[in-house]
Amino acid sequence: MAIKSTQNHYGTVAICIHWMSALLIIVLLASGIRADGVEDAAAKVPFLRVHVALGVTILLLTLARIVWWWRADTKPVSIPMPKLQDRLSRAVHVLFYVVILGMASSGVGMLILSGAGSIIYGGVAENLPDFWDYAPRTPHAIGAKFMIGLLVLHVGAAIYHQFFVKDGLLNRMWF
Ligand code: HEM
């Protein structure tokens, strides 16, 4: 299989980045919601340890993804579909980048402003701050809802193409 994409199929690098991002986002949503729902600081810290490490990972992966598409690879041509659907699909793809970068930067912002990094990775859990005292916490919560909305649209579209239109769209993003 080719490293770079062809006119009709994504390349190995694009496929790996896509599925790694999908997995990271699901674990990030789950660990973020879980951390938010726990009152006890000692119980919250293990979720945040996973969440912050994966949050920084998806930031780096997304930056690598942008550089990959910008400098090295070209996307396959769009599958023929009604104009409105095509526009919606492009908008969802761009919004994924915006929301991922927004979530990652608000997350890093919360961590820097609160100084919680040293507590999450080795400090005394009882000293964990209330992240709602810091401005980036609100956009982080709103971004999470947006991210879930985008995932519903994106996965819904993939299922629709795979099982109803049967145009093999999903195969283009697999090995
Ligand atoms: C795409 C990346 C990310 C996603 C999808 C994500 C997702 C979430 C979600 C769903 C929540 C709970 C929000 C709520 O229900 O109000 C949350 C909270 C949080 N996230 Fe993220 N996050 C991401 C990146 C990051 C990064 C990079 C950091 C830090 C470097 C971070 C630090 C935090 C912190 C400190 C909280 C607050 C937990 C609490 O209030 O108990 N996140 N995140």
Q: Does residue 167 have its Cβ closer than 6 Å to ligand 1?
A: no
Closest CA to 20 of 79, 100, 120: 100
CB of 104 sitting under 6 A from ligand 1:
yes
Q: From the alpha carbon of 131, which atom of ligand 1 is closest?
A: 40
Distances (CA, A) of 7 to 31, 33, 77: 37, 39, 6
Would you say residue 146 has pLDDT above 90? Answer: yes
Distance (Å) from CA 140 to ligand 1 centroid:
6
Please tell me the class of the 12-173 domain: mainly alpha
Q: Is 131 in the pocket of ligand 1 (CB under 6 A)?
A: yes
CA dihedral 13, 19, 23, 24 (to 10 degrees): 30
Tokens of 160: 């629709």
Mean pLDDT of 6-11: 97
Contact 64, 115 (CB under 8 A): no
For 21-77, the pLDDT digits (tens) are: 999 999 999 999 999 999 999 999 999 999 999 999 999 999 999 999 999 999 999
Kindly give the distance from the C-alpha atom of residue 137 to the centroid of ligand 1, in angstroms, as a whole number.
8
Task: Identify the band that residue 160 occupies on the pLDDT scale cut at 50, 70 and 90.
Answer: very high
Residues 60-85, buried b or exposed e (16+ Cβ, 10 A)?
ebbeebeeeeeeebeebeeeebeeee
Domain assignments of the chain as residue spans, ordered by start: 12-173
Q: Tokens 């659907």 — which residue?
A: 85
Tens digit of pLDDT for each residue in 96-106?
999 999 999 99
pLDDT digits (tens, 9 = 90+) for 75-96: 999 888 899 999 999 999 999 9
Q: Ligand 1 centroid vs 19 CA: distance in angstroms?
A: 20
- What is the pTM assigned to this prediction? 0.95
Average pLDDT in the chain: 96
Measured over the CA atoms of residue 18, residue 93, residue 66 and residue 71, the dihedral's sign is positive
Residue located nearest, by CA, to atom 17 of ligand 1:
32
Residue nearest to atom 4 of ligand 1 (CA): 28
Helical spans, DSSP H, in 115-136: 117-120
Give the residue, by CA position, lying nearest to ligand 1 atom 33: 107
The reply to whether ligand 1 has any atom less than 6 angstroms from the CB of 107 is: yes
How many whole angstroms from 172 Cα to the centroid of ligand 1? 31
Tell me how far apart the alpha carbons of residues 34 and 37 are, in angstroms, rounded to a whole number: 5
